[in-house]
Structure 1
Amino acid sequence: MPDLLDRYPLTAGTYHEMLQSDGSVRPHWRRLFERLQRMTPAQLNHRQALLARQIQENGVTYNVYADPKGADRPWELDLLPNLIDASEWDALAEGVAQRATLLNAVLADLYGPQHLLSKGLLPPELVYGHSHFLWPCQGIQPPGGIYLHVYAVDLARTPDGRWWVTADRTQAPSGAGYALENRQIVSRAFPDLYRDLQVRHLTGFFRTLQETLSRLAPHGHEAPLVVVLTPGRFNESYFEHLYLARQLGFPLVEGGDLTVRDATVYLKTLGGLRRVHAILRRLDDVFCDPLELRTDSALGVPGLLQAVRLGRVLVANALGSGVLESPGLLGFLPKVNEHLFGEPLKLPSVATWWCGEPPVMDQALQKLDSLVFRAAFTSQSFAPVFGRDLSAKRRQALVERIQGRPYAYVAQEIAQLSQAPVWQADAGVLLPRAIGMRVYAVASEDGYRVLPGGLTRVAGMADAEVIAMQRGGASKDTWVLGEGAGGLEQWRAQRTLGLSDLVRRDPYLPSRVVENLFWFGRYCERCDGIARLLRIILARYVEDDDPQALAGAVALAERLKLLPEEGDLQSRLLVALLDPGWAFSLHANLRSLHGAAAQVRGKLSRENWHALVELQRDVETLDGDTPALGEVLDFLNRLLMSLAALSGFALDDMTRDEGWRFLMVGRRIERLQTLSTSLAAFVRQPAAFEAPNLGWLLELGNSSITYRSRYLAEPQLIPVLDLLLLDDQNPHAVLFQIKLLGSSLRRLADDLSTPRDKTLKPLIERLGHFDLGTLEYSLFGVASTQAVLEGLAELLGDIVEASARISDRLALRHFAHVDGVSHGTVSV
């Protein structure tokens, strides 16, 4: 293989992580470099592809708000780790722990005696003017005096190799979960090297987080219940919320899953209310309580702040901690640390000038060309502006803007970011990219413990000066070398479990999760039914050899409102299939299926989720230009196979707990409604007796093979109705589904101690008494037959209405927790 450094530019005035100023490889990088030098580009590409495949299979995503297809965007991870020598790391970790201790003390003062403000060590404008300084939190004392349970700091290197702080993350620091996932993936790409370099493990950090939250939670003599509070699946780092909840063993909840009763926080579970003792929040503090904080928040928990105020629940990080994320505070922290602890800060901040002081503003504006200007408050809509890039007109506009509200802006020295090698698979070369590193600390009984590693973020473009995942950046694993335990990361249980700890059901299953499992089941069946009918129409339209069958299938689709009314058949079909803006389209229902699945991702196996991702990609391949009908028909065939796989996963992969039962009840209600609605509409058609129509009806009911193997004859009305209506051994028959639904509902009633309902029993009896012989020996000819079929259609309509009422009742009792007494019997 050619030398990896042949095309690797060494930029003067920039610190290179791998190379010294003379171009030689740094000592702690040599072993990795030698390993890479012995590999061919094809081998490196193969390992990079393995990383990408692992990310896809694990469902690691990062949502980009500005990208219309940014939801569930695959996480970007470079093959090469970023290496840091042990001695360098130890000094860096001391500085991070010191800074976390300082910022915790600053929060204690700001929400307590406020000596730092009264002594002029911090400007009141930067504190009181910040939207995340929360007056309702004044005087609240968190358990153990800990405000910052998790702290993160963004670091960059100076050209001479020293580390400096570019930003503090104190509100709900993100990225630690991604760092752990990066480690799990990259360490498997280089297992021998990972072991030989004795890379320090990350898992102790997360065990400490578990222990801290459980120890500080006000739980009395109860076993503490800790939950992870997420804004929901549309948040940029939702995967990390889910991943952390899994790793820590805490339920992942949204604001609607929690309720406050008598200043106590409860989780709304399927089995009732369970007290919550601690909340690890991934939600901005102002959104956490719409009663006392941001009143328009639909993400928080009304009354949460009162529960915190009375010491009934721990919130980590403490509400109001976001005030410290103002970059304007960076320049004041060195003196604050000397005042509070009598020692200098070990980690300097990037040179920062707050423009709220007139002499400082004048000095900053004089050096405008060499500085970058930022908003002092996170609530401002102001992207960083590099003074050197401004035209004379824009420069004057910036000056006037700063002079108009000087307290709202800060000026910073432009950080010359260090560069690390990344593998460019398409070109087969190593190239340098600017990097920054986010390092994490967690509160423990002995002070702050620093994660031995972190999230190295990589610029997306070669000339980028700002690193942001929202701007297309990637990531690297961070390896701290020396004194590692050897071997791969091992995650250990928080405590030893014995016989008395055994459980066979999830005691903290949120009602929202159950509701989404229910609708996940319904949308699976709904998409299957829509896809089958549209495939029937499309196949006969393309083949153009059975106009009678095509007309009958189109008439059914129109009666079921699955085809728009306007346009020729081809355009109507494409709208019904692919138009996301039409509420009844297959595309819209597949999007709803994916949305419900995303809400219950923690309950789905990796294979199940992967099948959903592949299904979503199949849909996206048809976006854009109008596809050929043959291509759409092929898509429908693949789609039905994918939906069948989802059904198989539900039957084989999921534990038969209450969540699974609600999923299956959802599927059975939807299938019962689809079968009954379709049959009722079909028997009302004038051509119900015709073999071509009966043929596609069997196809719609997924029973064509069963019919052919039983009768060896063309489809006829009586045996087709028997198979799709009364055969209690056929899972696609109405009688089979209604009996199975009744059995499932009785089981739920027994498990959840709710009374039973007799809604389905009379309908089962009426269906069981239906006599197909009345169609064979009708006394009054066609009129008599039509009367019988009309009676059957009315019975099927009653079944549809009954199943809809059952669905509503289940939602009221188990999802909305509405008292069944005021809404009729909710039993089954």
Structure 2
Amino acid sequence: MVTETIHSLLDSYKSQISSYDEILASDGSIKPYWKNLFIGLEKIGNLELKNRLQEIKNKIRENGVTYNVYQEPKGLNSPWKLDPIPFLIEQKEWESISKGLQQRAVLLDLIYRDAYGDKRLLKEGILPPELVFENTGFFRPCLDVKLPTENQLMTYAADMARGPDGRMWVLDNRTQAPSGSGYTLENRVIISKIMPELAEDVYISRLSPFFTQAQQSMFKVFREKSEHLNIVYLTAGPNNETYFEQAYLASYLGYTLVQGDDLIVKNGYVWLKSIEGLQRVDVIIRRIDDEWCDPLELRSGSRLGVAGLLQVMRNGNVLVINPPGTSMLENSALNAFLPSISRHFLGEELILPSVATWWCGQEKERAYVLEHLHELIIKKANRKQVFRSVYGRQLTHQQLQELKQQILQNPTEYVAQQETSFSTTPAFVEDHIEPRYAAIRAFLTATPTGYQVMQGGLTRSSPIKDKFTFSNQYGGLSKDTWIISDEAEVIRERIKLPGLLSQKAQSSLPSRSAENLYWTARYAERTMVASSFLIITLNALNFQRNFGSTNKTEHIEILLKTVSRLIRMENGFTDENKEAFENPYPLIYESIANDNQRGTITSSIQSYMKAIIAVRDRWNQVTWRTVDNIENINQRLKNIHTRQNPNDIQNALNTLQNNLFTFYGLVNETLPRNHGYYLFEVGKLVERILSKVTILRSIFSTKTEQFVETELMEAALMSHFALVNYRLAYKSNFEMEYVLDMLLLDQQVPTSLSYLLKALNEALSKLPQNSERLNEAQKAILQASTQLQLVDVNELNKVIEADKPYLKLDQMLLDIYGHVSTVSNFIANLYFKHTFTQHSITDTLMDVDNDL
């Protein structure tokens, strides 16, 4: 019965095939490993496959796997798309493909070295000079920049698809900063957890050896110079399309994630600006385009790179992977000359063919292109010139004539390629399996023994049926890529990386990361305090509405005023805005949902998300799931309205509070006790003290009648999570003296001001100091602690009968607020002084060259 349904499933799929498909052998039979995959799919069943797809989406969201889509209102942090059906290639075929990829990597490396060296290809007429000197990826300042390695092209990626002859054809080369290997790794992790049945009875090659080989190669280069390497991963920042991958790989490989402003050139070396001071950088793995690397010699307006970087490279004092200038190899016109260049340099024919390409800068080729324009695909030779491919067959007669004129005006800028039908592969789309065009990106890294190929890759299938387009910018779907065999992979001997333990111990914290960790904690705590106090206020409102007396609402008014002061509402609950107290819910909802007003719950969560994403390489997956929960709650809170049941809002706030507590617990349990952890603690404690002081000053601004004061004391204890402690100590007897003693001085209560100040001082003491003497922050804490310890609670409880303000209490709290604000300013000036205002860099991040 199962066999019949499998045949039915295969027959159904085969009936949809309109071109060569991956499941078919050259004789039209089903490849054995694809047949086994369909057996697994049949066992799972279509309904369960839909459930598994949803699990994949949930896992992607929980893990924070994103891809930023430009030109879309909701493009930032768009969820990554992953098909549950993998792409399969048999091991023997992959070995043959790998040889072709290695040959091409060697060839491109030789072309690069020749273009920036002897220029034999130009002198002997093998390569037209326009493809070098008019190439937007060729930079004259890089002529004398050389890496201290045999291969200059350290990493390389190739986009491939299976052509009509059954072989893999190379479509594009990625040479300056190849992207996708991190997504490849994450795809494998997710599919192995959610689709394990599909891997039964087959052996799938592992991905991790590829990354280990890359690390080993770097250490071998520098082994003679230093046993301990400081390797940084240079990113354009959170707005970059592949920022998730950059943070993911930096964390996976143990490198420091940095932006251009985190680095500086001084005394002939590149230095990392960290809170410990300047630290020398040995290796930069860059994920920014060539021209942005050095504003001193390349693009002057760049804030993404490091001024003076090229000169440090010339001196041999830093290794940059890949070196600036390698984007010249991505010029599409080179494909037309690769066969002759291969014969010239290697004495070999290309193992892997390219799509037939004609460069319009040659008279004969241009004439052919103009005559067959309706059959060809027209592209710009230089990929940095934004120009989407034009399919001649889709153009009208008038459009064809206009395109001919464009080509004739600037012929060297255009290439034409043959439109070829590539293979399709099974994809689970719209709840069923159907053929979709697919392409695979393969990754290579240079090692002392030659280029090594990853045993897998990033496969992407078209989001549109019968259309060969797979860019993630246009909705492409990714797939896990399995290199499979019937025999287990030989386990390689573990590679020992010299100096790794010492390198780990010396890992530094960039100033920008330090600042984002600090503000992650502050915004988390700001959200926690505000949401907790809103819960208290809403409970009081609901109780008053259902059971209280309409004559005794003074405590409600004071609680509402406190909400306004915590959230810093411009037109909040004030004496000048009396009508707001009559129906407080609209303003309460605004204090939660208005994300355009600073200080509201949703605004604080948004700021928290921006800060935590900027240091996402610091968080494990469990922590990130909690962050994802917080972000989802924020979306719910943004949509609340005045007609909504207050209980629903309270439930959402309770869930938010629980997740923030979970986040704090995970930070405490998982973050290493390094400078990053203590800066996080400092940020949390500073915000907590300032918020608690604000609450106490607002609630106990003046003496009120006994009933009101009792309600306020209970609210104050609840906001400090100390109500249970108080009742254990004093039963239900609420006395101002006892309440103040617990909230101000009790060292056993972790939310008392005395406890918090002591904890803040301890966290500060763990941070790098300029001298053994007390710094300004420690002096401020000492002043606040001393003032608090010397206070007489009985005196604080006294009031002047005329207007009944708690003057001494208010003045003391105001002084503590000032002292702790000094701590915040000192932290920013001392540890964050290397950071600068982040400029809008959307235009610099339109990364056409590394588009996935």
TM (normalized to structure 1)? 0.91
Mapped pair 1:277 → 2:282: yes
SS of residue paired to 1:156: strand
C-alpha deviation, 1:474, in angstroms: 1.5
Aligned pair partner of 2:598 in 566, 572, 583: 583
Q: Is the 8 A contact 2:442 2:456 kept in 1?
A: yes
Mapped pair 1:258 → 2:263: yes
Measured at CA, do residues 472 and 219 of structure 1 come closer, stay the same or move farther in structure 2, by a change above 3 Å?
A: farther
Q: 1:433 corresponds to which residue? A: 436
Measured at CA, do residues 632 and 308 of structure 1 come closer, stay the same or move farther in structure 2, by a change above 3 Å?
A: same
Further displaced range: 207-216 or 560-569: 560-569
Further displaced range: 574-583 or 586-595: 574-583
Aligned pair partner of 1:442 in 437, 445, 461: 445
Q: Is the 8 A contact 1:62 1:238 kept in 2?
A: yes
Q: 1:534 corresponds to which residue? A: 534
Aligned pair partner of 2:698 in 662, 668, 681: 681
Matches within 5 A, 1:503-582: 505-540=505-540, 545=545, 547-560=553-566, 562-565=568-571, 569-582=584-597
SS of residue paired to 2:690: helix
Aligned pair partner of 1:413 in 415, 418, 423: 418
Q: 1:621 corresponds to which residue? A: 636
Aligned pair partner of 2:621 in 606, 619, 630: 606
Instruction: Supply the distance in 2 between the matched residues of 1:341 and 1:776 (Cα, whole angstroms).
Output: 90
Q: Is the 8 A contact 1:523 1:593 kept in 2?
A: yes
C-alpha deviation, 1:365, in angstroms: 2.8
Q: 1:695 corresponds to which residue? A: 714
Further displaced range: 390-399 or 736-745: 390-399
Further displaced range: 164-173 or 460-469: 460-469
How high is the sequence identity, in percent, across the aligned residues? Answer: 34
Mapped pair 1:807 → 2:824: yes
Instruction: Supply the distance in 1 between the matched residues of 2:818 and 2:733 (Cα, whole angstroms).
Output: 33
C-alpha deviation, 1:289, in angstroms: 1.4
Return the letter of the residue paired with 1:739.
K
SS of residue paired to 1:294: coil
SS of residue paired to 2:237: coil
Q: 1:16 corresponds to which residue? A: 21
Instruction: Supply the distance in 2 between the matched residues of 1:101 and 1:776 (Cα, whole angstroms).
Output: 81
SS of residue paired to 1:227: strand
Aligned pair partner of 2:497 in 495, 498, 504: 495
Q: Is the 8 A contact 2:678 2:767 kept in 1?
A: yes
Measured at CA, do residues 725 and 490 of structure 1 come closer, stay the same or move farther in structure 2, by a change above 3 Å?
A: farther
C-alpha deviation, 1:675, in angstroms: 1.1
C-alpha deviation, 1:306, in angstroms: 0.9
Instruction: Supply the distance in 1 between the matched residues of 2:388 and 2:336 (Cα, whole angstroms).
Output: 20
Q: Is the 8 A contact 2:717 2:723 kept in 1?
A: yes
SS of residue paired to 1:143: coil
Return the letter of the residue paired with 1:550.
I
Further displaced range: 353-362 or 254-263: 353-362
Return the letter of the residue paired with 1:360.
E
SS of residue paired to 1:308: helix
Q: 2:458 corresponds to which residue? A: 455
SS of residue paired to 2:79: coil
SS of residue paired to 2:485: coil
SS of residue paired to 2:561: helix
Q: Is the 8 A contact 1:218 1:314 kept in 2?
A: no
Deviation string for 1:118-158 (max 9, x for gaps)? Answer: 33322333332333211111122221232211111111122
Instruction: Supply the distance in 2 between the matched residues of 1:143 and 1:418 (Cα, whole angstroms).
Output: 41
Q: Is the 8 A contact 2:62 2:628 kept in 1?
A: no
SS of residue paired to 1:4: helix
Measured at CA, do residues 207 and 21 of structure 1 come closer, stay the same or move farther in structure 2, by a change above 3 Å?
A: closer
Matches within 5 A, 1:302-341: 302-341=307-346
Measured at CA, do residues 218 and 629 of structure 1 come closer, stay the same or move farther in structure 2, by a change above 3 Å?
A: farther
Instruction: Supply the distance in 2 between the matched residues of 1:805 and 1:527 (Cα, whole angstroms).
Output: 22
SS of residue paired to 2:779: coil
Return the letter of the residue paired with 1:398.
L
Mapped pair 1:211 → 2:209: no
Instruction: Supply the distance in 1 between the matched residues of 2:492 and 2:557 (Cα, whole angstroms).
Output: 62
C-alpha deviation, 1:680, in angstroms: 2.2
Aligned pair partner of 1:781 in 801, 804, 808: 801
Matches within 5 A, 1:162-181: 162-181=167-186
Instruction: Supply the distance in 2 between the matched residues of 1:73 and 1:105 (Cα, whole angstroms).
Output: 38
Matches within 5 A, 1:766-777: 766-774=787-795
C-alpha deviation, 1:96, in angstroms: 0.7
Mapped pair 1:228 → 2:228: no
C-alpha deviation, 1:451, in angstroms: 1.7
Instruction: Supply the distance in 2 between the matched residues of 1:381 and 1:84 (Cα, whole angstroms).
Output: 33
C-alpha deviation, 1:13, in angstroms: 5.7
Q: 2:65 corresponds to which residue? A: 60
Q: Is the 8 A contact 1:201 1:485 kept in 2?
A: no
Return the letter of the residue paired with 2:723.
S
C-alpha deviation, 1:481, in angstroms: 2.6
Q: 2:142 corresponds to which residue? A: 137
Return the letter of the residue paired with 2:519.
W
Measured at CA, do residues 710 and 224 of structure 1 come closer, stay the same or move farther in structure 2, by a change above 3 Å?
A: closer
Return the letter of the residue paired with 2:788.
L
Q: 2:840 corresponds to which residue? A: none
Further displaced range: 686-695 or 89-98: 686-695
Instruction: Supply the distance in 2 between the matched residues of 1:761 and 1:193 (Cα, whole angstroms).
Output: 63
Return the letter of the residue paired with 2:740.
L
Measured at CA, do residues 219 and 470 of structure 1 come closer, stay the same or move farther in structure 2, by a change above 3 Å?
A: farther
Q: Structure 1: any 5+ residue segments left out of the alignment?
A: 819-828
C-alpha deviation, 1:222, in angstroms: 4.0
C-alpha deviation, 1:674, in angstroms: 0.8
Return the letter of the residue paired with 2:782.
K
C-alpha deviation, 1:350, in angstroms: 0.7
Matches within 5 A, 1:710-725: 710-713=729-732, 715-725=734-744
C-alpha deviation, 1:763, in angstroms: 2.2
Deviation string for 1:671-728 (max 9, x for gaps)? Answer: 1111112222333356486233333333333333333444443755333323322323
Instruction: Supply the distance in 1 between the matched residues of 2:329 and 2:86 (Cα, whole angstroms).
Output: 31
Deviation string for 1:43-80 (max 9, x for gaps)? Answer: 44455455445444443332223443333333222222
Measured at CA, do residues 485 and 184 of structure 1 come closer, stay the same or move farther in structure 2, by a change above 3 Å?
A: farther
SS of residue paired to 1:113: coil
Further displaced range: 62-71 or 260-269: 62-71
Measured at CA, do residues 399 and 668 of structure 1 come closer, stay the same or move farther in structure 2, by a change above 3 Å?
A: same
Q: 1:597 corresponds to which residue? A: 612
C-alpha deviation, 1:526, in angstroms: 0.9
Return the letter of the residue paired with 2:507.
P
TM (normalized to structure 2)? 0.88
Q: Is the 8 A contact 2:593 2:640 kept in 1?
A: no
Measured at CA, do residues 536 and 109 of structure 1 come closer, stay the same or move farther in structure 2, by a change above 3 Å?
A: same
SS of residue paired to 2:219: helix
Q: 2:808 corresponds to which residue? A: 791
Q: Is the 8 A contact 1:201 1:484 kept in 2?
A: no
SS of residue paired to 2:78: coil
C-alpha deviation, 1:174, in angstroms: 0.9
Return the letter of the residue paired with 2:360.
C
> Over aligned residues, Cα RMSD in angstroms?
3.0
Mapped pair 1:294 → 2:299: yes
Instruction: Supply the distance in 1 between the matched residues of 2:399 and 2:416 (Cα, whole angstroms).
Output: 16
Q: 2:779 corresponds to which residue? A: 758
Instruction: Supply the distance in 2 between the matched residues of 1:720 and 1:187 (Cα, whole angstroms).
Output: 55
C-alpha deviation, 1:491, in angstroms: 10
SS of residue paired to 1:507: coil
Matches within 5 A, 1:343-358: 343-358=348-363
C-alpha deviation, 1:668, in angstroms: 0.8
Mapped pair 1:468 → 2:485: no
Measured at CA, do residues 559 and 625 of structure 1 come closer, stay the same or move farther in structure 2, by a change above 3 Å?
A: closer
C-alpha deviation, 1:468, in angstroms: 0.8
Measured at CA, do residues 561 and 437 of structure 1 come closer, stay the same or move farther in structure 2, by a change above 3 Å?
A: closer
Q: 1:361 corresponds to which residue? A: 366
Aligned pair partner of 1:31 in 31, 36, 42: 36
Instruction: Supply the distance in 1 between the matched residues of 2:498 and 2:362 (Cα, whole angstroms).
Output: 57
Instruction: Supply the distance in 2 between the matched residues of 1:777 and 1:684 (Cα, whole angstroms).
Output: 12
Further displaced range: 134-143 or 741-750: 741-750
Instruction: Supply the distance in 2 between the matched residues of 1:184 and 1:525 (Cα, whole angstroms).
Output: 33
